[in-house]
Structure 1
Amino acid sequence: MKMKANKMKYYKVLIKSLILFFFCVLKMNAQEILTIEDAVKIALENNYEIKIATNELTIDKTNVSAGNAGMLPKATASIIDNNSIINLSQTRTDGTVNSLDNAKNNSLSYGVNLDWTVFDGFKMFAKLEQLKELQKQGESQLKLTLITKISDVNAVYFDLVQQQQQLNALDSTIVISNQRLTLAQNRFTIGKASKLAVLNAHVDLNTDKVTILRQKELYANTKTLLNQILARDTKTDFKVVDSIIVDPTLSLPELTLLAEKQNPQLESLIINTRVAELQLKQIKAVRYPTVKVNTGYTFSDSQSSLGFTTQSSAKGLNYGFSAFLNLFDGLAQNRNEKIASIQIENSKMQIEQQRLALNSQLTNFYQTYLTNLELIDLEENNEVIAKQNLDITLDKFHIGTITTLEFRTAQLNHVNAKVRYSNAQFQAKLSEIALRELAGNLSF
């Protein structure tokens, strides 16, 4: 009977363990591991700002056409039908008077006409080139939106990684504080420690619990922020990877060269200058004559109740051309050309201003990047030393050769060292992200 009872007890424990394992697996599956690549992919697919910028680019592409530049003819069809009922009175040259009440008159005309500007001082060609440049500007704006959003995703994602690392550090602190409280209580029970030691251990444990609760709150809020950036349900649960990998090979000359070629803000200003130059070409085109040709086919019919002609009709082809030349417009042409030239000059100065600001930002961020790389090595070494110190202190605390204050100091030093190491990695990653963003080579 005793053996049977032991078997039953064994099976109950086994079943409980399996159930617990099953629920743990479900919980792990519910929390997906979100990689930075997946986060960027989701942002590119869902983010509203990217969708709006994509739609704006589609509008720019649609505008690039010969018809929008004024190169194609315009054809119109028209129909006009006029009717009237009036009282008429006519006196002819021979003195005869004719009159008619409720006289009906009607006229009908319809036809197709074509109007085509065949020369406008090459304005239409400059307009088409300007539309193409505006499309490039839309592409540059979309690229800027993409890079900015990817930078935001990276920054928030690796902030989560840092916070997750700090949570792990605080979890280990809770374990050690619990051990300390248990040890203090045991010593108090056998009379080797005072009640004060137990109370101090309890207070420190509660302090650690408050700290970890605050950290969990910050972690949860940052997860919500990342979900918002990814434009998905803010309650979506996930975990991030547990490490931050910083590229230590970035080179300032290479980054500067890439920024000159790829920085979307600088690229946009260069396009703006080209657009301003094409605008000046369109303004100068007004100095040339504008030549239009026209043709059409028209049918007309009119009927009148009184008069020399009571009915007439006509149909046939008409064609011709017209030319216009601006001779004097109150010096508006000179003024417009001067303003357009100044705008080109301003655009060029903005390019140089952006280049200077870009080089300055790259230099500053790169110096911060190098400093953070050094801090990573230093803080990593500090964490190793703090861990060794904590292990030695814990052993001494177990045998009662050090005070609780010394133990608490070693414990906090270890936690702070881990937090500083994690923060050094995060700050270095932020510097790397900023440099890649300026260079325009953040991976899509």
Structure 2
Amino acid sequence: MKIKYSILFSVFVGLQCLTAQQILTPEEAVALALENNYGIKIANKNNEVAENNTSVLNSGYLPTLTGNAGATYNLDNTEVEFSDSRPDAVLNGAKSNRYNASINVNYVLFDGLGRHYNYKRLKEEYQLSELQVRETIETTIIQLFSIYYTVAQLTENTEVLEQTLVISKDRLTRAGYQFDYGQSTKLAVLNAEVDINNDSINLISIEQELKNTSRDLNVVLGNAIDHNFKVNTDIDFVLNLNREELYEKAKARNVSLLQVNKNIQISELDIKTGKSAYLPTLGLTGSYGWNENNNNAASFVAVSTNTGLSAGINLTWNLFDGGSTLTRVRNAKINLENQQLQKEQLLISVERDFENAWDDYQNKLTIFRVQEKNIKTAQSNFDRSQEQFKIGQVNSIEFRQAQLNLINAELSRNQAKYDAKLSELIVLQLAGELLNVQF
């Protein structure tokens, strides 16, 4: 049974018509990744194996039943001396055959509680496998949005450069008119042509980068959609994130910590399983058999047939096995101590990673807000320079500088926006909340 998360409840509707849509939303991207990503598929298959291992058929609690059958044919040359008064006999090619069949049952009544602890271990391993699936999903979602937001950023950057090229072409037209009417030199026209070429090259490069990154995104989605798609460039930040609350959740719900806790429980069961070898094993056996013998003429009995039931109880106690059980128990205890040390180490790492991720998120969110204000300043400066350029109060070099300032501000704003959103997702991942948010 695959792990079900709240994120799955609202994202699978309408996926079959995605190829007809132009915009790939974050919800649809997550749904496609959960359905088609090969890493997630493999993790789910491994989880199915772990679930199968928890079946009662793999518990050791059920009896074993075996069937046996056989047939023997003899062709003998026999010399017989009878103990009574009958004369001696010589038999050449004397035939005899035997047939047998049986059904045998074996059942272990008590094995020192070894199968009990082993069965509990299999259940813990299944829960560990579920956590591993969750970790794979979280890692895949972070990978997905790292590429998704890169596609979104490149999409907005492409729009910026397209608009830049339009403005540069208009500038070339104006420079040509000014040169024709003697209001400017040929140098202004040449500068405008150079800038158009540079803008065209930048646009061609970013369009190719956008195509390549879109293909990367489709790989994460299991190549489930047509390559001609766009992504949603609107970003909504999760409001009112509380640092202390998220930190407490990180210590309680971080998937890596949950896995090491599960490994500790498994190690404790390994110790108990090892100690079970100190106790005896008690078992029941039973069988029902049929035997038929067809003897040659030298035998006192020509044909004999036996059928019957047999049952027994056996007790096995390994009083000394050379110390192998003791060694296994000691090693299991050491492994438990290692798991506990790993947990302590992981707690320190999770605390550090959370603090770093939180500070990084706050810084990038601040940078994004500053870049938003910077856009307004750069846009106002560009609009004023454009108006002055049209009436000849600003030369082409000054106008180009204002244009470059606006371009750089827009590109920086785009990067800051998606960097901040990705940082937010990493904070939520560390806090174990990534699969509980609406994308």
Q: TM-score under structure 2 normalisation?
A: 0.90
Q: Aligned to 1:380, what secondary structure does the other structure show?
A: helix
CA distance in 1, matches of 2:97, 2:340: 64
Is residue 429 of structure 2 the alignment partner of residue 437 of structure 1?
yes
Query: Which residue pairs with 2:11 in the alignment?
Result: none
Out of 192, 199, 202, the position equivalent to 1:211 is 202
Q: Is the 8 A contact 2:36 2:224 kept in 1?
A: no
CA distance in 1, matches of 2:319, 2:139: 51
Is residue 108 of structure 2 the alignment partner of residue 117 of structure 1?
yes
> What is the CA distance between 1:421 and its match in structure 2?
0.8
> What is the CA distance between 1:277 and its match in structure 2?
1.4
Q: Aligned to 1:443, what secondary structure does the other structure show?
A: helix
Matching residue's letter, 2:310: N
Q: Is the 8 A contact 1:83 1:106 kept in 2?
A: yes
**What runs of 5+ residues in structure 1 fail to find an aligned partner?**
1-28
CA distance in 2, matches of 1:97, 1:438: 96
Matching residue's letter, 2:357: F
Is residue 42 of structure 2 the alignment partner of residue 52 of structure 1?
yes
Matching residue's letter, 1:136: Q
CA distance in 1, matches of 2:40, 2:369: 38
Listed as ranges, the matches of 1:79-228 within 5 Å are 79-90=69-80, 98-228=89-219
Query: Which residue pairs with 2:366 in the alignment?
Result: 374
Query: Which residue pairs with 2:339 in the alignment?
Result: 347
CA distance in 1, matches of 2:93, 2:56: 53
Is residue 32 of structure 2 the alignment partner of residue 42 of structure 1?
yes
Q: Is the 8 A contact 1:89 1:97 kept in 2?
A: yes
Is residue 354 of structure 2 the alignment partner of residue 362 of structure 1?
yes
> What is the CA distance between 1:248 and its match in structure 2?
4.8
> What is the CA distance between 1:268 and its match in structure 2?
1.5
Q: Please identify, of 432-441 and 288-297, the stretch whose mean Cα deviation from structure 2 is larger.
A: 432-441
Query: Which residue pairs with 1:414 in the alignment?
Result: 406
Is residue 294 of structure 2 the alignment partner of residue 307 of structure 1?
no
Matching residue's letter, 1:296: S
Q: TM-score under structure 1 normalisation?
A: 0.89
Deviations 1:354-406 (A, max 9, x none): 22111111111111111111101111111111111111111111122222221
Q: Is the 8 A contact 2:112 2:280 kept in 1?
A: yes
**What runs of 5+ residues in structure 2 fail to find an aligned partner?**
1-18
Deviations 1:298-332 (A, max 9, x none): 11111221334333221111011111001111111
Out of 326, 337, 342, the position equivalent to 2:329 is 337
CA distance in 1, matches of 2:60, 2:255: 30
Sort the Cα spacing of 1:419 and 1:328 in 2 relative to 1 into closer, same or farther, 3 A. same
Out of 220, 229, 238, the position equivalent to 1:229 is 220
Q: Aligned to 1:193, what secondary structure does the other structure show?
A: coil
Q: Aligned to 2:434, what secondary structure does the other structure show?
A: coil
Query: Which residue pairs with 1:426 in the alignment?
Result: 418
CA distance in 2, matches of 1:417, 1:211: 16
Query: Which residue pairs with 1:21 in the alignment?
Result: none
Matching residue's letter, 1:428: A
Query: Which residue pairs with 2:3 in the alignment?
Result: none
Q: Is the 8 A contact 2:32 2:224 kept in 1?
A: no
Q: How many residues are treated as equivalent by the alignment?
A: 416
> What is the CA distance between 1:88 and its match in structure 2?
2.9
Matching residue's letter, 2:354: L
> What is the CA distance between 1:235 and its match in structure 2?
4.3
Q: Is the 8 A contact 1:252 1:363 kept in 2?
A: no
Query: Which residue pairs with 2:285 in the alignment?
Result: 294
Q: Considering only aligned residues, what root-mean-square deviation do their CA atoms show, in Å?
A: 1.9
Query: Which residue pairs with 1:24 in the alignment?
Result: none
> What is the CA distance between 1:262 and its match in structure 2?
2.2
Query: Which residue pairs with 1:7 in the alignment?
Result: none
Query: Which residue pairs with 2:16 in the alignment?
Result: none
Q: Aligned to 1:402, what secondary structure does the other structure show?
A: coil
Q: Is the 8 A contact 1:269 1:350 kept in 2?
A: yes
Query: Which residue pairs with 1:254 in the alignment?
Result: 245
Q: Is the 8 A contact 1:158 1:244 kept in 2?
A: no
